[in-house]
Structure 1
Amino acid sequence: MACFDRRQLLAGGALLAGVAPLRRARAQDGYPSKPIRLLLGFAPGGVADIVARLVAPRLSELLGQPVLVDNRPGAGGIVATEAAVRAAPDGHTLLWTTSSTATGVALYKRLPYDAMSDLAFASTVSFFDHVLAVAPGFEPRDLRQTIAYGRANPGRLNIGSISVGNAQHLGAELLRAMLGIEATVITYRGTPDLLNAVVAGDVQIASEILPPVLPQIQAARLRALAMATKERFPLLPDAPTAEESGLPGYVVRSWNGISAPAATPPAVVERVSQAVGAVMANADLRARLRDLGVSPGASSPAEFRGFFGAETRHWAQVIDEARIERQ
């Protein structure tokens, strides 16, 4: 992630000075010449939608045209991705690319597109740490005790997640495999159902991204058993990492980015990337995202492409190791 941080610092220094060059470049080549549609594969109200709607108006200011979030929910983002790859490659249709785009490549035997070939990757935008959340009264206090509990009570430990095939679900399956105990992964339609199931005792552990769970932890309605991160999250300094809790190597992270149809001119892709870098360097936006449990992180097109390829390989390995049947 060091390359993303350096890019943000550079973009931050150029934020004010860079607006004029971006607009001059637009005047020279005519892009964008009309409103830009940002296709998003999930319904309004989720964390991906919230972040997109915080970023879009700031992109509009830099690019000089409205950036309109167009929600296309369905099939874990496949509907939106297919619409994006079939759109005119002129930069006026962009895709809010997510970790589900990468897990889908790893999980599904057949997709109506080849993400690596059919997308031009502009920039990552933000990252979401994962958390293992439990009810406050859950007796094991850390993962070491959880493993002991699972061994003493085979088949009684349930791990909950949402939406088969996304990073939360695959993170739950990875946890089950790494714990090495008899446990069941149960998926729910959405985060509210999942968190209610934890409180009710239907599942003992929720594998979820941090943003929708953070308020529940801060209000002591749930407890962070462990963060699936390398370092502790600043807003939850008392929540240990999985490694600190006895499960080294358990790191799961979701993310968002922006891409375009593959044949989009490289200059247009670079323009979008530069605009994203400038937007994500904004101090007010960064602070607002961090309060939500979101970590800002822009990148170059080449960095995003390399990152996306690494993500698909990583999740393919997780699927193999957890013996998840490809769909």
Structure 2
Amino acid sequence: MPTYLFTRLVTAAFTASAIALASGALAQSYPSKPIRLLIPYGPGGVGDITARFVAQKMSENMKSPIVVENRPGAGLILATDPCAKAAGDGHTICLTGVGSALNATLFKSLPFDIVEDFTHLSTIAFIDIAMLASSDSKFNSVKDVLAYAKANPGKLNVATINIGSGQHLSAELFKSMAGVDVQIVPFKGTPAILAALRSRDVDIAFEYVAPLISQIRGKLLKPIAIASSKRLSEFPDTPTLHESGITGYEANAWNGFSITAKTPRAIVERLNKEIVAAVNSPDVQQRMRQIGAEARASTPDEMRDLMVRDIAKWKAVIERAKIPLQ
């Protein structure tokens, strides 16, 4: 072998070994200070609670503090933008998810690209949406709802929260896929929806199951159908919308942890390992079930693919519903 080729091979091997050793050392010394977790929602909501469940377990396992900062408002930008622009040292992560996918389609411009400017570490929780009615409603099934809607175009009132929310777009997806003319009525929050159902100002609602668990268990509300692809273990007798005749219908909320794309691979792998361990721990699984959420981890590539699919899916719904961009 010529001397210059031998020299090249030795240099390449040495460089590869040095990089591997450096990456290993980086992962071993990380974290070197408290990790910041930026949450784009206020305290006490489902997103905040699920993130805190996982962060607490990660902190215990890593023996390092994780400092939670709630930064609600401005279309999730107040938490997500500083995360995208943080130093790539792994000490700033943020909660992202379906809300981030919705914003990518609802806003004309954002100061970051939710796909390209981030490495998505792992999903942590999936939160189901349901079609619900008051306990004394005449609607007991999707078949009942569709029969009334088709016989009375424009008269079925469907409650959701704010325009552009996951619940609102789930209702729009139902309207589109079922081919029915219904009135979608947005409210400012879940309490207003509950009041409208009780007073019969609206007929049905699309809302997260998690904050309504106690009302459903107490027979104040009845779930007509689940929006996700499978039934809930909590309510095994409630069918999915897909099973109920809206073939292919699927809508749910999810969230996960993300980090700036500048982060070294060794730190990404370490964080993914810690998140997966926390999400899969028996106590986090149980705590998630108690609030009506499903703890489910992923690989970084799986979370990225989910984000990309949801952006495309909800963009089509937004365009069909002619929801104005912000």
Q: Where on the TM-score scale, by shorter chain, does this alignment land: which range? A: 0.7 to 0.9
**Taking structure 1 as reference, are residues 26 and 175 closer, same or farther at Cα in structure 2, changes over 3 Å only?**
farther
> What's the counterpart of residue 77 of structure 1?
76
* Secondary structure, aligned partner of 1:144: helix
**Taking structure 1 as reference, are residues 139 and 60 closer, same or farther at Cα in structure 2, changes over 3 Å only?**
same
- 8 A contact 2:126–2:254 mirrored in 1: yes
Offset from partner CA, 1:195-249 (integer Å, 9 cap, x none): 2222222222211121112221111100111111222211102212112322222
**Taking structure 1 as reference, are residues 27 and 121 closer, same or farther at Cα in structure 2, changes over 3 Å only?**
closer
* Secondary structure, aligned partner of 1:51: helix
> What's the counterpart of residue 187 of structure 1?
186
> What's the counterpart of residue 92 of structure 2?
93
- 8 A contact 1:127–1:253 mirrored in 2: yes
Letter in 1 for 2:140: R
Q: How far, CA to CA, are the matches of 1:83 and 1:188 in structure 2?
A: 30
Q: How does 1:19-38 map to 2 (within 5 A)?
A: 29-38=28-37
> What's the counterpart of residue 226 of structure 2?
227
Q: How does 1:204-243 map to 2 (within 5 A)?
A: 204-243=203-242
- 8 A contact 1:78–1:101 mirrored in 2: no
> What's the counterpart of residue 105 of structure 1?
104
Q: How does 1:49-64 map to 2 (within 5 A)?
A: 49-64=48-63
> What's the counterpart of residue 115 of structure 2?
116
TM-score by length of 1: 0.88
Q: How far, CA to CA, are the matches of 1:88 and 1:28 in structure 2?
A: 16
> What's the counterpart of residue 323 of structure 1?
322
Offset from partner CA, 1:128-158 (integer Å, 9 cap, x none): 1110111112212211221221233232211
> What's the counterpart of residue 141 of structure 1?
140
> What's the counterpart of residue 125 of structure 2?
126
> What's the counterpart of residue 278 of structure 2?
279
Q: How far, CA to CA, are the matches of 1:176 and 1:325 in structure 2?
A: 18
- 8 A contact 1:84–1:260 mirrored in 2: yes
Q: Which has the larger radius of gyration?
A: 2
* Secondary structure, aligned partner of 2:116: helix
Percent identity between the aligned chains?
40
> What's the counterpart of residue 196 of structure 1?
195
Per-residue deviation, 1:312: 1.0
Q: Which moved more, 1:113-122 or 1:74-83?
A: 74-83
* Secondary structure, aligned partner of 1:117: coil
Per-residue deviation, 1:309: 1.0
TM-score by length of 2: 0.88
Per-residue deviation, 1:28: 6.2
Q: How far, CA to CA, are the matches of 2:174 and 2:70 in structure 1?
A: 31
- 8 A contact 1:26–1:63 mirrored in 2: no
Q: How does 1:290-301 map to 2 (within 5 A)?
A: 290-301=289-300
* Secondary structure, aligned partner of 2:263: coil
Q: How far, CA to CA, are the matches of 2:63 and 2:268 in structure 1?
A: 16
Gaps (5+ residues) in structure 1? 1-24
Letter in 2 for 1:75: A
Q: Which moved more, 1:254-263 or 1:196-205?
A: 196-205
**Taking structure 1 as reference, are residues 76 and 150 closer, same or farther at Cα in structure 2, changes over 3 Å only?**
same
- 8 A contact 1:100–1:165 mirrored in 2: no
Q: How far, CA to CA, are the matches of 1:26 and 1:277 in structure 2?
A: 22
* Secondary structure, aligned partner of 1:116: coil
> What's the counterpart of residue 248 of structure 1?
247
- 8 A contact 1:26–1:32 mirrored in 2: no
* Secondary structure, aligned partner of 1:255: strand
- 8 A contact 2:26–2:266 mirrored in 1: no
RMSD: 1.7
Is 1:158–2:157 an aligned residue pair?
yes
Letter in 1 for 2:245: G
* Secondary structure, aligned partner of 1:115: coil
Offset from partner CA, 1:260-300 (integer Å, 9 cap, x none): 11211121111111000111111122122112211111111
Offset from partner CA, 1:145-175 (integer Å, 9 cap, x none): 2122123323221111123222111111111
Q: How far, CA to CA, are the matches of 1:220 and 1:26 in structure 2?
A: 56
> What's the counterpart of residue 11 of structure 1?
none
- 8 A contact 1:104–1:166 mirrored in 2: no
Q: How far, CA to CA, are the matches of 1:92 and 1:28 in structure 2?
A: 12
Letter in 2 for 1:263: K
Per-residue deviation, 1:26: 7.6
